[in-house]
Structure 1
Amino acid sequence: MEQNQVSKSFLWSFLEQASVIVIQFVVQIVLARLLAPEIFGVLAIILVVVNILNVLAQSGLGSALIQDNDADDQAFSTAIWLSLGFAAVLYLLVFFLSGPIALFYGMVDLDLYIRVLSLCIFFNALNSIQRSYLQKTMNFRSLFLMNLFALTASGIVGIVMAYSGAGIWALIAQTIIQSAVACLVMAILTPLKVSLVFSKSKAKSLFSYGWKMCMTGVLATAYNSVSELIIGKTCTSGDLGLYSQGRKWPIAAIGAITNAVANVLFPALAKLKEDRAAFQNAIIRALQSGTYIIAPLCFLLAVVAEPLIAILLTEKWIACVPVFQVTCVSYCVLMLQLVNLRAYMALGDSGLYMKLHIIKLSIGVFLLAAVALTFHDIYVIAFVNGAYTVFSIICIDAKPAKRKIGIGILEQLRLTLPIFLAAGISTLVAYPVELLLLSYGLKLVLQIVLFVIVYVAISKALKITALSDIVRIVRGLFHRK
């Protein structure tokens, strides 16, 4: 696989992730001004049900198709019908359960809202297979265009309906239209043709891999919900708001890059898994190049946390700065997790992927509950959660790395140590600007400039190869033959 193709795929994947964040942010701001908070609360309840249905309906079949180098049109058609079949069964189930759910919450018409919004699981089931086809063929430009059209169209409809007084129906329509438009655009852009073909053997093979990915997704969704419930129960609602905001923004910023890398790395490694040397070389390059971008971004965000939050969220949110900073620092090793887990997935070991998540999430819930019940302090919770994030990545996610991919965690840390050193020194140099009596805007600019200058200088002094690799890749992207 050509390096230039991978680089362009990453660029389009990053643009896709960034466009989703920007468009959703703008649309949500407008809708928040037009609709009452209670309406968003109702939607949140509905989405708890719908999000779980989406994960179950898709059943990890998209990931199964990406890792299978022998997947053909018959396999994709089988996956589509299997996914739609799951969606139909789940919709019938939620159709009859929506009544009891509405009674439990004591909300009028909640059952109707759930039944209507749950229709999107059919579109999402189809869309997940379409996405996997484009990811497998490294066609991330089409994914970018799909999200651009779907988010823009649904956002406009949602805003117009909200302005017209449609209330909760504006948010329901926005969600359904986004899923429907995504399917339509994908059908136009994707050469994948759906046929009336279903192979039992391929269905069995795909489901054997996919159900483990599915369960992992369900567990992750449940873990996030339980975490907020625990913090909300042991701390005040205001503390939960600070904790949520302190984690949401760094996760969104860092996630735009890590998700882009993950989307490209998975199909790229899947294509190379038969060639051990090429597979390992791709892992090393991805680990070093990714860490060279992610680690300094995490440290830089931690450095500029106070002026950044004061400017974007106003000073009333300054209290969430410590949570923001701890989250950023703990995510500096995220590439170690991303590379190892995607390598396991590419090798077809979804069972290992699920096992690691079960171990991490089980320990995580117990640890969170113990700390929250003992201290009732979001800052202690954030610190322990951050420390556990680093521990789980190094000691749990990377433990099978030596056996599975031939590159153990000690070797991975050795390869990335100069990068962490450069980022750490840059942090020590840039952070003291925080002590100066300057405006938030000036502090932000000075810290960013100082950090970048020191980081690049140390990178050159330590002869970090990732710097020259990234420069060469960027030049190649804009080079016209």
Structure 2
Amino acid sequence: MVKGESLKKKTVNGVMWSAIDRFSTQGIQFVFSILIARLLMPSDYGVIAMLGIFLSVSQAFIDSGFSTALVQKVNRTETDFSTVFYFNIVVAIFFYILLWFAAPFIASFYNIPMLEDVTRVVSLMLVFSSLSGIQSAKLSIAINFKTRAKISVISAVSTGCLGLYLAYNGYGAWALVLQMVFSSLLGTILLWYFVRWIPKLIFSWQSFRQLFSFGSKLLASGLLDTIYNNIYTLVIGKVYSSFALGLYSRASGFAQYPSSNITGVLQGVTFPVLCSIQNDEQRLADAYKRFIRMSAFIIFPLMVGLAAVADPFIRVVLTDKWEGAIYLLQIVCFSMMWYPIHAINLNLLQVKGRSDYFLKLEVIKKIQGVCILCITVPFSIVAMCYGSVVTSLLSLVWNTYYTNRLIGYGFFSQIKDLSHILIHSLVMGGIVLFTISLVEITWAKLIAGILVGGIYYIWGAYLMRFDELKEVLSIIKRK
């Protein structure tokens, strides 16, 4: 078990390198995605988004919760690793064959003929990624995000250049397809190079059953989450158009950049760290509360700020042809700002080995979400986005129910701890909106909004003596 300063040091190092991994990689990908989006049309992105649900469901079955089970298990063995490795490959090949034969029906469902060939090519990602699942899990177990950062940066630069070249030369949606497949292949090659692990010629049913008893519940909950998260793209692509889906996917993608990536940093590091102190109730509760406040301190202002500058941001970054995504982005930001709080609450259930609680929550939340979706679909995509905000807030109530049972930190306690951050962020958003209304030039609106918002938030947090700011500064000072 990691103790005292050793745990703190390991956590800080993990967060630092995970942050470098996420934000150097995402920064590079963000730049390339902007350049590519300026060359392509929203409908090109819509075509790729239509396949999201099929690829995501397949990937969920391939992993089947085994990666998380391996990280959570204390006395894992080489037999465990080899068993999961072979399982992943067999399931990946099965789903690739399934999607190959399903491709004509997918194209017919959306009434887009090119989807038949696109499905068969992009599904190669499933096979490539299945070959490196164990290597990725080993990096997480070791909290070795430095190596992951190297892999991610190399892959992001290489695949970004390829995607930009193809988009510039008129490949359209195929530029995105080939970029995705090459990214998966290169990532697998690099993981094998940096993580020198070779599977043994062994498959243990005992190991499989033991890991699957934990992972199966995560698989079920993961499938529910995956299907629900992609059902918006499925419905929009079918009911509306690939152009409308392209606008929605780009707005959703921008909203997810800060929210999902910072959450990924915190979740990827906090899970193995919290697992190491899972039997020390007081330390676990204290660490968990600190992670919740820190994530909100970082995420809330970013999401509110992005919503405030959405208009000049979209016009400057993607040009006016993407202006239909502006209002969608503003709404989705208020849904995604709660994402890290959801994730860390659910993280605690996995740390405590309560994947049964995890599954129950997912079933309840997805039924609730589908009901709200069915109500909003007939109106418009905007109504669907507002529905996602309502769903996110209601889900927070459900997610904190078991957290309260496990460590006595429920919904009202969390809202109370986060209220000062939320209010400060909303005030910042209002100031940014007022500031950009005074500026006429579009690019100047964006710069002014970012500068004023950032300065106000940090200076205000300093004057009001936010503990979260002190902790961030202390981490920066130590590093």
> Shared fold (TM-score greater than 0.5)?
yes
The answer to whether residue 467 in structure 2 is matched with residue 465 in structure 1 is: yes
* CA distances 1:132-181 after superposition (whole Å, capped 9, x unpaired): 11011110111111222233344455666778898887665544433232
- In angstroms, what is the RMSD of aligned CA positions? 3.3
Answering whether residue 62 of structure 2 is matched by residue 60 of structure 1, we say no
**Equivalent in the alignment of 2:339:** 334
Q: Distance in 2 between matches of 1:408 and 1:357?
A: 17
Which residue of structure 2 lines up, in the alignment, with residue 390 of structure 1? 393
The 5 A counterparts of 1:3-402 are 3-28=8-33, 48-98=53-103, 114-115=119-120, 117-156=122-161, 174-231=179-236, 240-373=245-378, 376-393=379-396, 395-402=397-404
Mean Cα deviation higher: 185-194 or 362-371? 185-194
2:419 corresponding residue in structure 1: 417
Q: Secondary structure at the match of 2:465?
A: coil
Q: Return 315-324 or 179-188, whichever deviates more.
A: 315-324
Per-residue deviation, residues 206-261 of structure 1 (Å, max 9, x unmatched): 11222222233333332234323434566676655544443331222322212221
Residues 304 and 334 in structure 2, CA contact (< 8 A), matched pair in contact too: yes
CA shift for structure 1 position 94: 4.2
**Structure 2 CA distance for partners of 1:95 and 1:230, relative to 1, 3 Å:** closer
Name the CA shift for 1:29/1:379 in 2 (closer, same or farther; >3 Å): closer
- CA contact under 8 A between 1:331 and 1:390: conserved in structure 2? no
Q: 1:402 to 1:171 in 2, by over 3 A?
A: closer
Contact 1:434 1:443 in 2 (8 A): yes
Q: CA deviation at 1:111?
A: 6.2
| CA 1:39–1:402: 2 relative to 1, 3 Å | closer
Contact in 1 for aligned 2:295/2:341 (Cα 8 Å): no
- Report if aligned partners of 1:73, 1:192 keep a CA contact under 8 Å in 2: no
Q: How many Å apart are 1:123 and its aligned residue?
A: 2.4
Distance 1:69 1:50 in 2: 31
Unaligned runs of 5+ in 2: none
CA deviation after TM superposition for structure 1 residue 281, in Å = 1.3
What letter matches 1:369 in structure 2? Answer: C
Distance across 1 between alignment mates of 2:386 and 2:48: 31
C-alpha contact 2:43 2:245 (8 A) present in aligned 1: no
Q: Which consecutive unaligned segments of at least 5 residues does structure 1 have?
A: none
Letter in 2 for 1:456: I
Structure 1 residues 433 and 5, CA, compared in 2 at 3 Å: closer, same or farther? same
Q: Which amino acid aligns with 2:478?
A: G
Which shifted more, 123-132 or 169-178? Answer: 169-178
Aligned partners of 2:198 and 2:328: how far apart in 1? 48
Aligned-residue offset at 1:41 = 6.6
Instruction: Give the conservation status (yes or no) of the 8 Å contact 1:77–1:196.
Output: yes
In 2, distance between residues paired with 1:209 and 1:277?
Answer: 25
User: How far is the alpha carbon of 1:319 from its aligned partner?
Assistant: 4.8
CA distance in 1, matches of 2:437, 2:114: 54
| 8 Å CA contact 2:46, 2:242 repeated in 1 | no
- Cα distance in 2 for partners of 1:37, 1:309 equals 13
CA separation in 2, counterparts of 1:318 and 1:255?
Answer: 23
CA distance 1:416–1:326, change in 2 (3 Å): same
Deviations 1:61-110 (A, max 9, x none): 11111111222322212211222232243344445555666777788797
Assess if the C-alpha contact under 8 Å between 1:230 and 1:369 holds in 2: no
Name 2:431's counterpart in structure 1: 429
Aligned-partner Cα distance in 2 for 1:304–1:385: 21
Question: What number of residue pairs does the alignment pair up?
Answer: 474
TM-score where L is the length of structure 2: 0.86
Shift of 1:286: 0.6
CA change 1:177–1:310 in 2 (3 A) is closer
